Structure 1
Amino acid sequence: MKAHAIMIALPYQGHLNPFVDLATKLASKGITVTFVNTEHAHHQIASSQEIPDAGLDIFAAAALDIRYATISDGFPLDFDRDLNFIEYWESFLRDFPSRVAEFVGDIISSSDPSMPPFLVSDTFAAWPAMVAQKFGLVNVSFWTQPATEFAINYHLDLLKQNGHYPPTKDDEQMINYIPGVAPISTKDLMSHLQESDVTIVQEIVFKSFKEVVKADFILHNTVQEVEPHTLSVLNQKQATYAIGPINFSTKCSVPKSLRHQVDCSEWLEARPHGSVLYVSFGSIAQTNRQVIQEIAHGLVVSGVSFIWAIRPQIVMDDDGDVLPCGFEENVKDRGLVLQWSDQLSVLSSPAVGGFLTHCGWNSILESVWCGVPMICYPILYDQPTNRKLVVDDWKIGINLCDGESVGKEEVAEKINKVMSGEASDCIMKNLKEMRTKLHDAWKENGSSQINFDRFLRDLNDKI
């Protein structure tokens, strides 16, 4: 029996990337996939590829049974979704679910009745349980962050019972009662759990985790050997499968960047082995102008070669150039500043010897996959907890700053520590071991390969 996966993506780069990779993996296993992007995300990808919207099927070259479609998010293409984040997500929570239900109904009514459909959604979606119940669909939830953070969100009730949410004290406290999670400081919790006032991000996360308890299966973009205890405990609650890093599970090349990527391969090829620092704070996180300027001054002082991806609106008061006056002229012989790049292509270059990162989960997986040590500067969302995993638990990176503020002298010191090879032998040993775990996971008889096949068998029994 051939099943039919209906997948509706969240329109954010960090979620879209693994979701596309999951689609190609499902299709490579013989499942028919209908993959749905929002019209705006589709437009962004088409623009990044410099082709007309109507001429783009992102899966056209994959040679797999994937049908590509788009759905309106309820806003015109020129509406600034980042600037109007609250308005956008209020609508996404309130209005988008009914739009999805109608869209899924149309897909089902026009599909081959011999292929039973099932729903695959990002855990952060607000509609899966309602849509799955309405159409009698098996409900598969895909978590794109570490299992540790899933477990913390999953046990919000325990945080409330113990007085750690909403936060009431400024002093740092240890949390040691969350099943499957090693003791963690309140300062290392995800940013939405450190905020006293109710925010739209909290609404998104809390609604998502009310929904996810109704899922039939939960897929995690992590590796069994990396988070074994957490995954084992979660599996006692719901059917849980570690299938990461999904980003490297197939060799299909699918255009999915929401921004135009600058090719810097020629620039990298001219640099010595391990001499280049890559700097990127991801696709959505914003910091302040002072942080960017201190990092810029620190790069000047360090003397290292670097590539720095500085996207528009990276600072909250963006009014043009955020770099210090004369910075690019000062570093032109050893620095390349661009808006966006193919991050995996950069990290996989032999010339790259370090990664100054915001600690997004995709960035961490890519850095480990390529064996590149990290300098960590988390900003918000899952990033503080990811930093804790990278620096404190797995010991595969260092902090950019050990105090409260970023200063150019410490920036230069930390950069040179990593780029000169001063990063401890322990960090490189741990990084090598974790890299092996990631690479082995999708080999024949690797844990992620086994877990994915087990998921498919369990899915087949369920539908």
Structure 2
Amino acid sequence: MAEKHILLVTFPAQGHINPSLQFAKRLAKHALIKVTVLTSASATARMSHTLSPSFHSLIDVVSFSTAFDLSTQEDFPKFFLDLSQHGIKAVEDAVAAKRAEGRPYTRIVYNLLVPWAGRVARRLGVPFTLLWIQPAALFSVYFHYYSKKFNPSDEMIELPGLPRLRRGDLPSFFLETNPSAYNLVIPTLIDNFEILDGEDERATVVVNTFDALEAEALRDLDKYRMLAIGPLIPSAFLDGADQSDSSFGGDLIQKIDDCIQFLDSSERESVIYVAFGSYSELPRLQTEAIAEALVMIRRPFLWVMRDSEEREKLSCKEELVKRGRVVNWCNQVEVLSHRSVGCFVTHCGWNSTLESLAVGVPVVALPQWTDQGTNAKLVEDLWGCGVRAAKGEIVESDEIVRCLEMVMDGGDESRKMRENAKKWRDLAREAVNDGGTSQVNLGIFLDQIVGGG
């Protein structure tokens, strides 16, 4: 049987690149599947130092030039329009080139902020699939908004398959506090549903989650064929089937410090790990409050702070460095998997949330924007493996300490959160093992491709 070739198009941000690369690896391990990942040249230039030779033996990474770089561009709407214009041309050229070679793309896979890749695929007659890299619950929220089933201004929102949501639990793009620069995000996400609904047959959506975690949300979305194929994290930290798969391989930020020796020297479940992703920029007062809390709680910590200048400005810098380590970047899933980590202070982006679930570490959630508030709601109220700090423009140090103690003090609430975290870890591993739901769903998707469906 002839080899099938997939073009996977990803938005050039770390939170989109990581699950896309991991999904590409899983697909490419099939003997009849070849995968090419397409994103902007500004991203691939920074990824080049972390993509291993073994990765390149499985997957091709190609790029297209843009006038603006997400990491330096302050005008988000201008960047977004520029990306779509150049991206559309890149997909068209890639499809034309493969057809000219007599080896056309069998399918185009794209993630949620590049729906234009799906529109190009339909126009060119190439089958396509949406890779949803947020929880199924968020797909449900956006779908029901698209279907006019709720008004974001309602104080309480009840949707099938989800816990009751307050207005403040919705993604930040729905809220009045959303900066106008991001007003285009909701229409972009809604565009995904218009593309899916234009298909003659029931469209397939692959989701970075697993059935046991979001059974109700997945079941409610029967208009589409929802295939939960997650968690999309490196095998070495999940099922252990491939120990060489120990990183996503596409870091846009180069780590300078090695923190594993520090973790090795710490007691089991004693270290507080603090990280807020690759994109979130905390207000100065919030950074100060976190630093004060880490000094007050008197426990070892590892804090990822990308801005070295911000680090130097901290008023309690000297006290801080006596108790823990502050680094610019790390292999997060490796850190979370370490025996010494007992708590994760996180913005609750979906990748970070799913990684904590997959390795069984409870969290203290300090959501900032986008999907993070909804994820924090699920972590606390649905999955019971963490606590969300009280809402406010700035979460004060006393509140952060309260939450940290709740997770770390070994009391009844702490034990319950740890039990739940480890339950989800076990179910995540079960899902990706042979015969598990995520493995079965991945097989269904691969059968669609290999069988031409």
Q: Same fold by TM (over 0.5)?
A: yes
Unaligned runs of 5+ in 2: 197-202, 236-240
2:166 is the counterpart of 1:185? yes
Show CA shifts across 1:400-453 (max 9, x none). Answer: 336664222222232233223234332122112111111101111100001110
Percent identical: 29
2:366 is the counterpart of 1:384? no
The aligned amino acid for 2:78 is E
> How much does 1:29 deviate?
1.4
| Greater alpha carbon shift after TM alignment, 277-286 vs 208-217 | 208-217
> How much does 1:87 deviate?
2.1
- 2:80 aligned residue: 89
**1:372 aligns to what SS in structure 2?**
coil
| 1:195–1:110 CA distance, 2 compared to 1 (3 A) | farther
RMSD: 2.4
The aligned amino acid for 1:143 is W
The separation in 2 between residues aligned to 1:326 and 1:202, in whole angstroms, is: 36
The separation in 2 between residues aligned to 1:323 and 1:154, in whole angstroms, is: 44
> How much does 1:157 deviate?
3.7
2:263 is the counterpart of 1:276? no
2:211 is the counterpart of 1:224? yes
The separation in 2 between residues aligned to 1:418 and 1:379, in whole angstroms, is: 20
2:299 is the counterpart of 1:304? yes
Show CA shifts across 1:76-128 (max 9, x none). Answer: x6x853433232113224x2343233332344235443x65210111221312
Verify the 8 A CA contact 1:59 1:66 in the aligned structure 2: no
| Greater alpha carbon shift after TM alignment, 387-396 vs 245-254 | 245-254
> How much does 1:14 deviate?
0.8
- 1:60 aligned residue: 53
Show CA shifts across 1:306-348 (max 9, x none). Answer: 11111139xxxxxx42565453321323211111111111111
The separation in 2 between residues aligned to 1:10 and 1:129, in whole angstroms, is: 13
The separation in 1 between residues aligned to 2:348 and 2:126, in whole angstroms, is: 35
| 1:66–1:265 CA distance, 2 compared to 1 (3 A) | same
Show CA shifts across 1:286-325 (max 9, x none). Answer: 2311111111111111111111111139xxxxxx425654
| Length-normalised TM-score, structure 1 | 0.87
- 2:284 aligned residue: 289
Show CA shifts across 1:106-164 (max 9, x none). Answer: 44235443x652101112213123211232111111011100001111121455x64x2
| 1:285–1:459 CA distance, 2 compared to 1 (3 A) | same
- 2:64 aligned residue: 71
The separation in 2 between residues aligned to 1:128 and 1:384, in whole angstroms, is: 28
> How much does 1:17 deviate?
0.4
The separation in 2 between residues aligned to 1:343 and 1:298, in whole angstroms, is: 22
**2:326 aligns to what SS in structure 1?**
strand
- 1:36 aligned residue: 38
| Greater alpha carbon shift after TM alignment, 79-88 vs 371-380 | 79-88
Return the match for 2:253 from 254, 259, 267. Answer: 259
Runs of 4+ in 1 over 4 A off after TM superposition: 322-326, 402-405
Return the match for 1:149 from 121, 138, 141. Answer: 138
Verify the 8 A CA contact 1:81 1:88 in the aligned structure 2: no
Verify the 8 A CA contact 2:88 2:117 in the aligned structure 1: no
Show CA shifts across 1:192-224 (max 9, x none). Answer: 011377834342332233234434421000001
Aligned residues: 435
The separation in 1 between residues aligned to 2:163 and 2:19, in whole angstroms, is: 26
- 2:27 aligned residue: 26
The separation in 2 between residues aligned to 1:390 and 1:80, in whole angstroms, is: 29
- 2:390 aligned residue: 401
Verify the 8 A CA contact 2:359 2:422 in the aligned structure 1: no
Verify the 8 A CA contact 1:126 1:204 in the aligned structure 2: no
| Length-normalised TM-score, structure 2 | 0.89
Verify the 8 A CA contact 1:13 1:257 in the aligned structure 2: yes
Alignment of 1:355-366 (within 5 A): 355-366=344-355
